[in-house]
Every structure is written in C-alpha cells, then in structure tokens.
Chain A
Amino acid sequence: MDMKRDYYEDVQFFTSGAITFWLSTLVIGLTLFPFVAKNYYVYVANYMAINVIVVIGLNLLVGYTGQISMGHAGFFAIGAYGTVALMTHAHFPFLLALPVAGLIAAGFGFLLGLPALRLEGPYLAIATLGFGITITQIIGKIKILGERQGLHAPELTIGPWHLNTDRDFYFLLIPITIFLAVLARNLVHTKVGRAFIAIRDADIAAETMGVNLTFYKTLAFAVSAFYAGVGGGLYAFVLRFIEPELFSLFMSVMFLTMAVVGGLGSMMGPIAGASLLALLDLQLRNILGIPYIGEWLEALSRNYFSITGVSNIQMIVFGSILIAIMLFEPLGIYGIWIRTKKYWKMWPY
C-alpha cells in the first residue's frame, strides 16, 4: 500500500473533517454571540480578543523563539497611541492607521531585538522590562500624545459603516483576530517558524544549518511587537480613551502570564490562556457581588490576608488559580487540551 504521499497534508490547515467541523462551529458561534449576549459580555469578548492578539504575538517570541519579554505593554502602548495619533493628526483612515501603528511597534521591536541578541534569560527580562517602563514615561511627555492627560479615540468609521457600539466593534475585531491567528499559525508551519523553533531548541545547531540567528531573533521581536501594536490600536477603541498609566508593568506581566498559562509554543495555548485570564480578570472584579459568598470572601480577605485593610480577594483568587494551573498542568491549558484532544478528534465522525 505504498501510496504517493501528499506532502501538503503536513502543513495544511484543515487536517481532518473533525477540525473543519469544530472551526465552522466556532465561527458560527462567534457570529451569533453578540445577538444573544448582553452588551456587557460583548465588551468582555472584545477585551478577550485583544488579549488573544497580543498573546499570540508574544508566544511567537517567548514560546517559539525562546526569548522573553516583560515589556509588551510598551509595544501595546505604541500601537494604541500610534493608531489614535495617526487618525487625529494625520487623518489616516482606521484601517490604514492600525497596520501602520503596528509597523511602528514592529520597528521598536526590531530595535529592542538588537541588544536582546546579547542577552538571555533574566537579563533579557530586565532589559525588556526597562523598555516597557521607559516607553510610557516618554509617551507621557509628548504633547501631541496628550501627555499625562491621555487621548480620546476619534469616531470610528469605515466607509459608510459607523462603529458606535461594542457590538459594532465586535464585528470588526473578531475577523481581525481570526485573520491574525491564521497568519501566525501559517508562519509557524513554514520556514520562518521552523527557524524560530530551531533557535529555541538548539541555537548552535540551527546556526550551523544556516539559520541566521541575528536575523531571526530580531525578526521574532519585530513580529511579536507588531501583534502587540495592532492589539493596542484596537484596545484604544474598546476603551475610547487612553492614558500612559494604563500600559503598566502589570500589564506586561499579565500578557506573559497569559502566554505561560495557555501553554508556550502552541497555537491553541495563547488563545486559551488569553481568553481565560482576560475573562477571569474582568469577572473577578465582580466577585464581591456574588450573594453571601462575596461578602464572606471580602471579610475574610480584609481581616486575614490584607496588610493594608483593603480587600484584595480578587488578586488572591487570581493568584491561586495561576498556581493551581501551573501545579497540575505545567504545559498550561494546552497540556489539558492535547490530552482531551484524542477523545473528540474523531467526533462527530
């Protein structure tokens, strides 16, 4: 039974009928969602999608190339401010301003990638952290970027389409998210992605096989920064107002956490990690609103866990969930996924 192999099978997207089925279901579900969900949950979905975009990009850098970044809020800020500034000052249409701002972020990513060539592990973490902090400081000093007061996002129109509500924005954001996810997925299955993984797994061997380390390491930074920048540009329109304080070190750490919790070096990982943690982040703010338990938890945290007497229960729950995931599934959510995948891979066929 020596059939001629179809090599495209190795890289194609719809590897099986089951995958096609599930992806179609997902797309239909995503399309129907805003019609059945309350407005707040559409906002939540938008927030999740933006985090997914950033974490997909971050995962290309951290998960695939093995370089760390604790400064992605910096690229996110560049994208957000870039998009808004290009629209208000240079009168770019949104669909042009967004990728251009992404490219500006990519340029910064490339520049940060250069010193990063000489740094590894904790040293790279500190260098990127420094970048993230510095960028917001600089933005806070630039007049056309609103300095400390921040910037309002302009009206969003695409041709005849006025995007006024979260629901309108959802129908712009979700296709962009899917598009960017597919691009990243294709990238990791072709030459560039393979070079990234090779560098992560054995950089010297990769180099002796002809992979230019300088080129691919800086490229990974640039691509990753592009995703963060585009995410930032979209975020500006979810919030409709941006200020430097938003893009804090905590935000960078949060992105990195999402990437790790989801599972590094996979495509499903960042999608799962970013969705789950973004959702938790928003939902835990409402923890005190849960009947009985909310009050009890608040009292508990104020009396026993807090130094300052302020309730920090959402942080505690958040932290506990992170610890639990890492403890039971070091590969992140992706680890759970691959184990259950076998069960439903063939379903419904």
Chain B
Amino acid sequence: MAFFEVKNLSISFGGLKALDDISFEIKKGEIYAIIGPNGAGKTTLFNCINGIYKPNKGRILFKDRNIRGKKPDKVAKMGIARTFQNIELFNNMNAMENIMIGRHLHMATGLFRGAFLWGKNSFAGKEETSHRKKVEEIIDLLDLQSARNKFVGGLPYGTQKQIELARALALEPELLLLDEPCAGMNAEEKQDMIFWVKDIQDELGITILLIEHDMTMVMDISDRILALNFGKTITEGTPQEVQKHPEVLRAYLGEDDGECAA
C-alpha cells in the first residue's frame, strides 16, 4: 500500500485536457515535487486532490482510502493541508487568527459554548487558550512574532506566504501540499523557506507534495520529481534522473522565462 497515490487522473475544461491520465505514488515522509511550465496542470492537480475540482476520471488514494470527489473540508479532515499559489489569506484577521483557522478541526467549541465564553475557565476560554499556545509555537517556528497581531492584508508578500504555511501546519496534516512556496520571494526569504520545508519534513515528519519553479530548490530538497507538460507526464524519478531527461530540458528548463530558470 502506498501512503498517497494518484491513478489515471484526468480532468478537462471544455475541450482542454488540463490533466491527462496522471499516475504517481508518494511514500510517507518524502518530499515529492511537481515541475512543469506555466499551464502544465500543476495547480489543477492540487485542486483535484483537495476536492476543489471534480476530476472526470481516475482515483486519488490517501492511506488506501479514495478521496476523489470528497469535499475540501472532508479532505482536510483526513489530514491533507495546502497553501495557495495566489495567496488566499483571511485579510481582515490578524496573523494569529489566520493561523487559528488551521486549528478549526481540532477545536470543539460550538455555538453555545462559544457564546458562553464566560471567563478563563469556561470551556471556550480554556480551549482558546490552549490552541493559541499551540499556534504560538508555530509562530515561533516560522519567525512570525512581528506579524502576530497585524492584519495580514497589509503585510509583505513573503510574510503572507509564511503565514499561509503556518496556517497549513496548524492543521497538523500528514500530507502538506505547497503550491510555489518561494514564488515572489527574495533570495533571503527563499533560503528561509527551503530551510523550513526541510525542517517540516525532518522534525515534524510531514510528507510534502511541492510545486516549485525554482530549480535549485527543487533539485536540492526533493526526493522524487514528476515533470508535467500540457497535462501529461513527461517523466518521473529522482532529481538526477529527471534533470537529464531531454524533454524536461527542452520543455521546462530550456524555456527561460526568468521565473523558471535556476
């Protein structure tokens, strides 16, 4: 049994085959990267896993359970969290509250116990306190102290990306989907992000599925790589194998649009 497995997955939008018969497997604890030029279908694949899109064909198995067709919140409940290519934060909340949404599934306060937040020792009071403590650990881990009480809408782009990562971590997922975590970051922020992604794998034991255009990062940290183009698999394998593949060189690395270059 595989930890996570995609089998013959296809989805089309109108006439466009965004994903065409994609299959791959991820082992527990590895960093698995997906590369490919713009429009290859990488984000679409995430959206299928997440349940945002409904694939036309194929299966998505997580710990031997089919999650294809499940709603996003059910997928989250099974232990899959993600970040977004175009930041999707809750702009009118501060960083702490954004990350607290990651704790949503771990909290039991409902309508009544929430409304009757009568002090520290009420159920809601205790629960809020303990989960905020947990979030604070994540804030410390990702160096987000300065953003803690600020509305996220006005924060720098790199910080927002970090908060997205923090929010996903707060869910305590087993599988973490990262959609271009380094996009738009400066060199220093990139270094930090690479460090954290490795840390999340090593220290927290979370399996990572990563989309990234930055080839140095991908080659550096991935255990295995899947290369896509026009919705089809070009090749799959270790960084060394994939790097040598002629079609990858042509379709991806050759097409130097600045962002793709290493």
The residues in A between 67 and 95 inclusive whose CB is less than 8 angstroms from any CB of B are none
- Among B105-113, B183-191, B238-246, the stretch that binds chain A is B105-113
* A7-B88 in contact (CB<8A): no
Within the complex, the shortest CB–CB distance from A290 to chain B, in Å, comes to 42
Q: A209-B167, A210-B171 are in contact. Are A191 and B114 (CB under 8 A)?
A: yes
- Among B29-37, B90-98, B154-162, B221-229, the stretch that binds chain A is B90-98
* A8-B128 in contact (CB<8A): yes
B residues within 8 A CB of A12?
119-120
A residues within 8 A CB of B133?
7
* B interface size (C-beta, 8 A): 46
Q: Does B52 count as interface, using CB distance less than 8 angstroms?
A: yes
* A interface size (C-beta, 8 A): 35
**8 Å CB contact of B90 from A11, A201, A212:** A201
Q: A191-B110, A209-B81 are in contact. Are A197 and B102 (CB under 8 A)?
A: no
The residues in A between 199 and 222 inclusive whose CB is less than 8 angstroms from any CB of B are 200-202, 204-213, 219
* B125-A11 in contact (CB<8A): yes
* B136-A194 in contact (CB<8A): no
Q: A198-B101, A210-B73, A219-B111 are in contact. Are A10 and B132 (CB under 8 A)?
A: yes
Within the complex, the shortest CB–CB distance from A225 to chain B, in Å, comes to 13
B residues within 8 A CB of A186?
114-117, 124
* B82-A197 in contact (CB<8A): no
A residues within 8 A CB of B75?
208
Q: Does B89 count as interface, using CB distance less than 8 angstroms?
A: yes
Q: Does A189 count as interface, using CB distance less than 8 angstroms?
A: yes
In the bound assembly, the distance between CA atoms of A190 and B103 in angstroms comes to 11
A residues within 8 A CB of B52?
204, 207-208
Minimal Cβ-Cβ distance residue in A for B152: A201
Within the complex, the shortest CB–CB distance from A223 to chain B, in Å, comes to 7
In the bound assembly, the distance between CA atoms of A5 and B93 in angstroms comes to 20
Within the complex, the shortest CB–CB distance from A339 to chain B, in Å, comes to 16
* B96-A10 in contact (CB<8A): yes
Q: A10-B132, A190-B128, A210-B77 are in contact. Are A201 and B117 (CB under 8 A)?
A: no
In the bound assembly, the distance between CA atoms of A8 and B93 in angstroms comes to 17
**Given A191-B124, A193-B114, A205-B88, 10 more pairs with CB closer than 8 A:** A7-B136, A184-B115, A186-B117, A187-B115, A191-B107, A191-B110, A201-B90, A205-B89, A208-B72, A209-B167
Residues of B within 8 A of A (CB): 50, 52, 71-73, 75-77, 81-82, 84, 88-93, 96-97, 100-102, 104-105, 107, 109-111, 113-117, 119-120, 124-125, 127-129, 132-133, 136, 167-168, 171
Residues of A within 8 A of B (CB): 5, 7-8, 10-12, 183-184, 186-187, 189-195, 197-198, 200-202, 204-213, 219, 223, 265
